[in-house]
């Protein structure tokens, strides 16, 4: 199938970050794009503004007439987040339209490009966006399909120059959900972390580790595997790829960081490899985990010949990704940070870094659990990691693609949370409570629709200073 010769494409779940990047790519090359999503969002509104037609009703009558004229040269791209009883999906299947998952199409798009694929339970969005930014700022001809909206480019898609004589490099976020990353063809593979997740798909932690190992095994024979050292240890036997492996991490014996200085607006450090040291680097975003992400990105940049000075300049100009340690508001008395963390290890890394930056201030964490299965499978870990905050406020579970599970609620996390203050609140109750409590350091955490509270919280904080 020649993707550039398609008559039109229909997306089921177009509002997802990964899906929308591919939709933008088709729109860019001139293929008409239609789509469905469950609810409107700032991202779907952006896609509509770019010329894509989106419906929010799961009904056959919403399908465009031009798409229904024929099944020839049409393609339906769907995400596993679409429920099995979707009217649109089942109708298109019955009518014989070719349906492919986002991961399959991403593999088709990138098959003939030199690919850098970034995998990991957490850290892949920030790392892949760092890789893309360092290469682009150094003048490399790159494309990037990212799992978040970059602050530098205000998009989850960076397009290469098709008129360039330099063959394009594509940077891809490799998603482990539903084993999606096994459709990719990496020349360089990055593994940022390896922790059990998506147990509704994999069954147990051992199967998750096997999935990551299978992904790394896809790396081209002449390629490289750049892996966070603890993640590599969890995978165990690396037979067949050991000669390609380069480890990294703050405390790694391979690529590592020294002379780390933590600050409110970012961290400074030196990059150390077996062959060189790059001193005086500054990353203008906080987080020890983000230093590790930067180590992997720098290693890739050096592979492509990006100079030490270009790396310094590129890192200094990196603005991060929306909802990844995003400082939304800050004044002399209060700070508000929003983060996408939705796994216990992500929350632990995030809150530990916030603690390091504001050691003497009261830390209030608002957390919205994501998925009933994840809440059930990692309840103990969530309670333990959230206990790093002085106060924890839990919102209801965001179900996404799942139906409720009897007995699985946010309240099951409360008893094991060790914070001095802890409570359950509805989204409607949150801001009135915060207005009364006046938290010093406030963080919102989660991968559901908690991001829709960010603007309201910002308005309350900024209005209070007028």
Same fold across 111-316 and 326-463:
no
- Report pLDDT for 155: 87
The domain at 3-100 falls in which architecture?
Answer: 3-Layer(aba) Sandwich (3.40)
Name the CATH superfamily housing domain 326-463: Mur ligase, C-terminal domain (3.90.190.20)
Q: At 450, list the tokens.
A: 């908690």
pLDDT interval class at 287 (50, 70, 90): confident
Which of 27-31, 305-309, 322-326 has the weakest average pLDDT?
322-326
Average pLDDT over residues 241-268: 90
Q: SS3 for the chain, per residue?
A: CCHHHCCEEEEECCCCHHHHHHHHHHHHCCCCEEEECCCCCHHHHHHHHCCCEEECCCCHHHCCHHHHCCCCCEEEEECCCCCCCCHHHHHHHHCCCCEEEHHHHHHHHHCCCEEEEEECCCCHHHHHHHHHHHHHHCCCCEEEECCCCECCCCCCEECCCCCCCCCCEEEEECCCHHHHHHHCCCCEEEECCCCCCCHHHHCCHHHHHHHHHHHHCCCCCCCEEEEEHHHHHHHCCCCCCHHHEEEECCCCCCEEEEEEEEECCEEEEEEECCCCEEEEEEECCCCHHHHHHHHHHHHHHHHCCCCHHHHHHHHHCCCCECCCCEEEEECCCCEEEEECCCCHHHHHHHHHHHHHHCCCCCEEEEECCECHHHHHHCHHHHHHHHCCCCEEEECCCECCCCCCCCCCCHHHHHHHCCCCEEEECCHHHHHHHHHHHCCCEEEEECCCCHHHHHHHHHHHHHHCCC
Determine phi and psi for 314, rounding to 5 degrees: -65, -40
Q: Residue 262: which residues within 8 A CB-CB, separation 6 or more?
A: 286, 288, 353, 356, 357
Q: Is the pLDDT of residue 466 over 60?
A: no
Q: What percent of the chain has pLDDT over 70?
A: 99
- Report pLDDT for 132: 97
- Report pLDDT for 356: 84
- Report pLDDT for 464: 60
Sequence spans of domains, the chain: 3-100, 111-316, 326-463
Q: Give the pLDDT confidence of 276-285 residue by residue, as tens digits.
A: 999 999 999 8
- Report pLDDT for 189: 96
Place of tokens 């990047």: 21
- Report pLDDT for 313: 97
Please provide the CATH number assigned to the domain covering 111-316: 3.40.1190.10
Q: According to the per-residue pLDDT averaged within each range, which of 75-89, 106-120, 409-423 is highest? A: 409-423
Q: Give the pLDDT confidence of 44-56 residue by residue, as tens digits.
A: 999 999 999 999 9
Q: Give the pLDDT confidence of 329-362 residue by residue, as tens digits.
A: 998 889 999 998 998 988 998 999 899 888 899 9
Q: Is the pLDDT of residue 459 over 60?
A: yes
Q: Give the pLDDT confidence of 164-185 residue by residue, as tens digits.
A: 888 899 999 998 877 888 989 9
Average pLDDT over residues 59-69: 91
Q: At 53, list the tokens.
A: 């037609």
Distance CA 457, CA 463 (A): 10
Q: Give the pLDDT confidence of 324-337 residue by residue, as tens digits.
A: 888 899 988 899 99
Q: What percent of the chain has pLDDT over 90?
A: 67
Distance CA 345, CA 349 (A): 6
pLDDT interval class at 86 (50, 70, 90): very high
- Residue of higher predicted confidence among 245 and 200: 245
Q: Give the pLDDT confidence of 186-202 residue by residue, as tens digits.
A: 999 999 999 878 777 78
Distance CA 432, CA 419 (A): 21
């Amino acid at each position: 199938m020649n993707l550039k010769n398609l008559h039109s494409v229909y997306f089921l779940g177009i509002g997802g970050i990964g899906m929308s990047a591919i939709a933008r790519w088709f729109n860019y090359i001139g293929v008409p794009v239609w789509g469905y999503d469950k609810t409107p969002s700032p991202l779907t509104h952006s896609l509509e503004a770019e010329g894509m037609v989106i419906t929010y009703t799961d009904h056959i009558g919403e399908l465009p007439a031009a798409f229904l004229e024929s099944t020839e040269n049409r393609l339906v791209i769907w995400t596993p987040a679409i429920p099995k009883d979707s009217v649109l999906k089942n109708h298109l299947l019955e009518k014989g339209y070719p349906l492919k998952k986002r991961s399959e199409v991403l593999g088709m798009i990138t098959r003939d490009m030199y690919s850098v694929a970034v995998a990991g339970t957490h850290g892949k969005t920030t790392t892949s966006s760092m890789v893309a930014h360092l290469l682009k700022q150094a003048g490399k001809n790159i494309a990037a399909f990212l799992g978040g909206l970059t602050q530098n480019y205000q998009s989850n898609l960076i397009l290469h120059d098709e008129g360039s004589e330099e063959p394009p490099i594509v940077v891809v976020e490799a998603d482990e959900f539903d084993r999606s990353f096994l459709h990719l063809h990496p020349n360089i593979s990055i593994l940022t972390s390896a922790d059990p997740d998506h147990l509704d798909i994999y069954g147990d932690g051992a199967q998750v580790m096997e999935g990551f190992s299978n992904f790394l095994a896809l790396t081209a024979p002449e390629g490289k595997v750049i892996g966070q050292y603890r993640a590599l240890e969890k995978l165990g036997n690396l037979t067949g790829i050991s000669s390609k492996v380069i480890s990294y991490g703050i405390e790694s014996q391979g690529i590592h960081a020294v002379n780390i200085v933590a600050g409110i607006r970012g961290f400074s450090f030196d990059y150390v490899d077996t062959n060189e040291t790059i001193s005086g680097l500054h990353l203008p975003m906080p987080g020890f985990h983000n230093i590790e992400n930067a180590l992997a990105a720098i290693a890739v940049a050096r592979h492509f010949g990006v100079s030490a000075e270009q790396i310094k300049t590129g890192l200094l100009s990196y603005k991060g990704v929306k909802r990844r340690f995003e400082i939304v508001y800050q004044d002399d008395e209060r700070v508000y940070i929003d983060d996408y963390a939705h796994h216990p290890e992500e929350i632990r890394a995030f809150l530990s870094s916030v603690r390091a930056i504001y050691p003497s201030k009261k830390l209030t964490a608002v957390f919205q659990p994501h998925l009933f299965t994840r809440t059930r499978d990692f309840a103990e870990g969530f309670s333990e990691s959230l206990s790093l905050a002085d106060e924890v406020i839990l919102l209801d579970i965001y179900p996404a693609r799942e139906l409720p599970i009897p007995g699985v609620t946010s309240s099951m996390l409360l008893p094991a949370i060790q914070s001095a203050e802890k409570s359950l609140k509805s989204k409607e109750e949150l801001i009135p409570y915060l207005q009364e409590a006046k938290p010093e350091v406030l963080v919102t955490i989660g991968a559901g629709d908690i991001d829709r509270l960010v603007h309201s919280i910002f308005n309350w904080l900024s209005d209070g200073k007028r």
